[in-house]
A = this chain, B = another copy of it.
């Protein structure tokens, strides 16, 4: 029998307990031994819950039970998740987490601690919910030189953008409705301003490069300024607006950015709607691939955690070596990052635009008395300088 403890009995934690219970037989076959949850740590009691009897309020019960070999951390936030994770790893207990904030902030240190104590720190559920992209990057694709990772990594923003496009509604309206429906949090900042996606792409590209990409070094823009007119213009160009979190290896360093982009019909990311997430990966041998699935939600996220629990169970007493070094990769500053841009301007500015963006072709923007065009690839800095001369009513969005 292999004993696990779950820290935090919220949405994901309860999903993990349920999933381990539901798929007990399948897990036993895959792990070669039965996996059982012995403790659930939470401040609350859960009267009437089928797993009520497992609830404890004191972490030291778990820490000091030598039979608990796997700890599932689904508390979120940095403290006390960090302290509990550290304590568990130091006791040689492997930890599986869905906590992207903790992984992005302290992942290197926690993986080093796991290594020193012959156990593992797994975090498949921290990026892209149920999508098993971390295991793919660290096993099947571990021999690839990864050239690019671009993801739709936040379900809330993708849901909002999908509904804005379907209904022609304003951002604030759809956000309010998404909050009422539970698809967006009361304080939606981390999602809508791109901070959540930023942490996730930092984790994915760190794994791919084996170097520590600090999420604070990634330029991040959210979707709160996207208007129905932007969406109309993207549609007029056959595209959709998506919040992309991308990182690309170039000759002049790693270009990483989180921002809304127009995604064209030819991209595999075009078909990713609603709360779905997807991660596009380009490898030097593999070429283009994409992983698609539910990026959030109780059971999909639990599925990823349980995949990690299974991996822990199969490698008890050993350290699963993957992750990143302390070294930072060379990164291109925001000004030097190359993008294409979809620009919409009042017709009156067309002559000026043709001057500052030579060679552009104007097209219907879908908006009355405004025209639009897509620039060539250019640096953010060059674009900003040229764009600044197009008057106060010009708008722009990057193009993937």
Contact = CB atoms under 8 A, between A and B. Distances in A.
Given A139-B135, A141-B132, A310-B142, A303 B291 contact: no
A140 B135 contact: yes
Interface in A263-279: 268, 270-272, 276
Nearest to A16: B285
Interface in A290-329: 290-294, 297, 299-300, 302-304, 306-307, 309-311, 321
A203 B137 CA distance: 23
Interface in A126-167: 130-132, 135-136, 139-145
A287 B283 contact: no
A320 to B, nearest CB: 10
A210 B124 CA distance: 24
B283 A303 contact: yes
Number of copies: 2
Q: Which 5 A-B pairs have the closest CB atoms?
A: A289-B293, A132-B140, A140-B307, A30-B142, A286-B303
Interface string A25-51: 011011110000000000000000000
A316 to B, nearest CB: 15
Contacts of A310: 139, 142-143
A385 interface: no
Interface in A238-273: 268, 270-272
Contact of A306 (B285, B292, B306): B285
Contacts of A393: none
Contacts of A132: 136, 139-141, 289
Output the residue of A32, A131, A303 with the most chain B CB within 10 A: A303
Contact of A294 (B30, B144, B289, B304): B289
A320 B236 CA distance: 52
Contacts of A307: 139-143
Interface string A111-125: 000000000000010
A315 to B, nearest CB: 11
Interface in A375-392: none
Contacts of A309: 143
A19 interface: yes
A148 to B, nearest CB: 14
B30 A143 contact: yes
Contact of A22 (B210, B285, B304): B285
A124 B142 CA distance: 14
B140 A289 contact: no
Contacts of A289: 130-132, 291-294
A290 B293 contact: yes
A145 B311 contact: no
**Among the interface residues A19, A26, A210, A283, which one has the most CB atoms of the partner chain B within 10 A?**
A26
A189 interface: no
B268 A143 contact: no
A265 to B, nearest CB: 8
A252 to B, nearest CB: 21
Contacts of A139: 132, 135, 139, 307, 310-311
A26 B145 contact: yes
A158 to B, nearest CB: 14
Given A135-B139, A285-B299, 16 more contacts: A15-B285, A19-B143, A19-B285, A23-B143, A23-B145, A23-B284, A124-B140, A130-B287, A135-B140, A142-B310, A143-B310, A285-B302, A286-B299, A287-B293, A287-B294, A289-B293
